[in-house]
Chains A and B, each alone.
Chain A
Amino acid sequence: MPENIAFEIQQILPDVILCFFGVFILLAGPFVGKAKQSSLGILGLAGIVAASLATANLVGNDGTYFTGMIIVDHFSIFFRFTFLLISGLTILSSLDYLRRQNINLSEYHSLILFATVGMNLMAASNELIMVFLGLETLSISSYILLGVKRTDPKSNESALKYFLLGSFSSAFLLYGIALAYGATKTTNLELIAKHILSGSADMRLVYIAMGLMFVGFGFKVATAPFHVWTPDVYEGAPTPVTAFMSVGPKAAGFAIFFRVFLVAFPTTYEKWLVLAWASAVLTMTLGNVVAIVQNNIKRMLAYSSIAHAGYILVAFVSGRDDGVAAVLFYTLAMNIGAFTIVALISRENEQKISIDDYAGIGFKQPLLASSLSLFLLSLAGIPLTAGFAGKFFIFRAAIESHFIWLAVVGVINSVVSVYYYLRIIVIMYMKELPEDYVPVSISPGVAVVLWLATFGILQLGIYPDFVISLARVSVLNHH
């Protein structure tokens, strides 16, 4: 036990800043008018910009801090930037949404900041205890965000479902952590690996711990068979929160999934390989096949995001994380973009979320329809979009690691997915517009989100060099 420890606040400065702004928004809430509550999001954006600057300052500080609790490396810095981007885009697209839906809660923005703190701590944690605390901070913030439409039964249902199932899965994770500690006398990821290597750990306990953690993380990233909550939760949630949920907690979940399994359990690779392999195949197939029959666009995008979790698992099985950055990055741009449009089209009280509500809007709302088409094409993995580059990376990694069948299943699934993505585009451009259609106006915040997402997709698709360099810097140094 160390006698005196150093408090290296600058290594967690982004999180300190985010917490500061989160509390500041809460305190500022009572002083602004009721109708202006949602505009406190501007403060949230300011916090995110400040935190980004602080994160940029972390580059080059590689090492572990706070008695080994926190690690600063390329991997964590990459994910920190990803999370900040996700939260920034979510706040931008929510500003207008909250006003339209009459949700006057400043807490909304501060909860997004606290959720970001949770995600940051997950990506930067080097200790199972920090993993759990980060995960819980994120989860509790998301439970509340899902239920932020307090009078809407669907939003309540979504929050309650996620809360019950989320607490259940946290218990699995916690049990796994406890057993890992019991077997190795430590919760530090690197020390766990060392103990396993030296043979001083009881391997039966380690295997059970790994299995339980696999369940816990699998739930958070929605891989089959732990995906059942996803469609219901995504459907009932306020749409910007759905966008956030489909990328933020997922990216954070994968970050920690990779870190724990590749850093703490690398020597037992062949044991969890089977689990991950089966889960990847099941997740991709189930997500894509069930998405075909969905008529609600939010549910369809939910299944599509399950399928994408499957693709990321393929990279995980291949034991290579260079494709992961690419996929996370492109799903980020596309999901947030697509859900922003869904939020716009759905109107007040989110009535219009059936696929048929998109009939004929192609020529009436050119910007919305063309960018939604681009996002969907990119999700399908059509060349010249970011989706193609990302999938190419992942399947190449699978083939190079001799998982030919996994790559084959993945490619077949990609082909299946084209059907349901194209279906929406067909409906938008080839069906009749209903007589009573009222065009929706695009607010500046939404426009910024759409342009950024479009730019990201084309940039990553046409110049994959950026993806490659991104992949190179974000690789977890685990060997």
Chain B
Amino acid sequence: MELAIFLVLSVISIASALSILIQRHPIYSALSLILTFMSLAGIYIQMQAEFIAVMQVVVYTGAIMVLFVFVIMLLNVKAEERVPNKLIVMKYFGIPLTLLLVTGVGVNIFQSFSGQAIRVSVASAPGLTGNTQSIGKLLYTQYALPFEVTSILLLVAIIGAILMAKKEL
């Protein structure tokens, strides 16, 4: 059952990711991107990372993609016109590099099936139910200072946005 859900979600995410590239109209690309994010969120839930899944939906699908779609609509971008591809050279670099990437990923997948995968550890949270709770707890104890520093970082970014974008100061 789990495998079936995983397969369905991964097929959807890969197909919609491809569709971002293939679509000629930016709105369709943006909508495909939303679909990719949603299916990725599903995969995160399967990996029991429900906090990341929710953040994925709220932040990416909810906030950022809505902005994307608004900007595209406001700018009234037309479907991309077919331009003759002048950069033939790119093909000669692109194809070998793609092959390299595919073999690299393939080797890793193969290794993981034969039991010699790179070890990556997952942080465990003993005594807590669900990782949303443990993330919350960590943010207010162990990572309290970085949490506060992030607010300064965001303040600086806001100042920058106003300074750069405002018509008259």
Contact = CB atoms under 8 A, between A and B. Distances in A.
Asked if A and B are interacting partners, one says yes
Interface of A: 1-5, 7, 12, 19, 23, 26, 66-67, 69-70, 104-105, 107, 110-111, 114, 117, 121, 127, 129-130, 133-134, 136-137, 140-141, 143-144, 147-148, 150, 159, 182-183, 185, 202, 204-205
Given A105-B163, A130-B149, A114 B141 contact: no
A1 B142 contact: yes
Contact of A66 (B125, B145, B159, B160): B145
Contacts of B120: 182-183, 205
B164 A69 contact: no
Given A69-B146, A114-B155, A140-B156, 6 more contacts: A67-B145, A110-B159, A130-B145, A130-B146, A150-B169, A202-B119
B152 A117 contact: yes
Contact of B121 (A7, A23, A147, A185): A185
B149 A134 contact: yes
A129 B143 contact: yes
A137 B145 contact: no
List of 3 A-B pairs having minimum Cβ-Cβ separation, nearest first: A144-B160, A66-B145, A182-B120
Given A137-B152, A144-B163, A204-B118, A69 B141 contact: no
B159 A144 contact: yes
A147 B141 contact: no
Interface string B136-169: 0110011111100110110111011001100001
> Chain A contact residues: over half helix, strand or loop, or mixed?
helix
A67 B163 contact: no
Contacts of B137: 1
Contacts of B156: 111, 114, 137, 140-141, 144
B123 interface: yes
Nearest to A130: B146
Contacts of A117: 152
Given A137-B152, A182-B120, A111 B144 contact: no
A322 to B, nearest CB: 30
A19 B151 CA distance: 11
Contacts of A144: 156, 159-160, 163-164
A142 B108 CA distance: 39
Interface in B91-149: 118-121, 123, 125, 134, 137-138, 141-146, 149
Interface of B: 118-121, 123, 125, 134, 137-138, 141-146, 149-150, 152-153, 155-157, 159-160, 163-164, 169
Contacts of A19: 152
A187 to B, nearest CB: 10
> Chain B contact residues: over half helix, strand or loop, or mixed?
helix
A182 B169 contact: no
A150 B152 CA distance: 23
B124 to A, nearest CB: 10
B123 to A, nearest CB: 7
A113 to B, nearest CB: 10
A307 to B, nearest CB: 31
A183 B117 CA distance: 12
A137 B157 CA distance: 9
11 contacts: A1-B134, A1-B137, A19-B152, A105-B163, A114-B156, A133-B146, A137-B152, A144-B160, A159-B164, A182-B120, A202-B119
A141 B156 CA distance: 6
A4 B141 CA distance: 7
Contacts of A185: 121, 123
A185 B122 CA distance: 8
Contacts of A1: 125, 134, 137-138, 141-142
Nearest to A156: B164
A390 B19 CA distance: 58
Contacts of B119: 183, 202, 205
Nearest to A70: B145
Given A19-B152, A144-B163, A67 B141 contact: yes
Contacts of A136: 153
Contacts of B123: 185
B55 to A, nearest CB: 16
Nearest to A136: B153
Contact of A2 (B142, B153, B160): B142
A134 B142 CA distance: 17
Contacts of A159: 164
Q: Which of B137, B141, B145 has the most CB of A within 10 A?
A: B145
Contact of B153 (A5, A23, A133): A133
B141 A2 contact: yes
A147 B159 CA distance: 13
A470 to B, nearest CB: 29
A19 B145 CA distance: 14
B159 A107 contact: yes
Q: Which of B134, B137, B164 has the most CB of A within 10 A?
A: B164
Contacts of B163: 105, 107, 144, 147-148, 150
B150 to A, nearest CB: 6
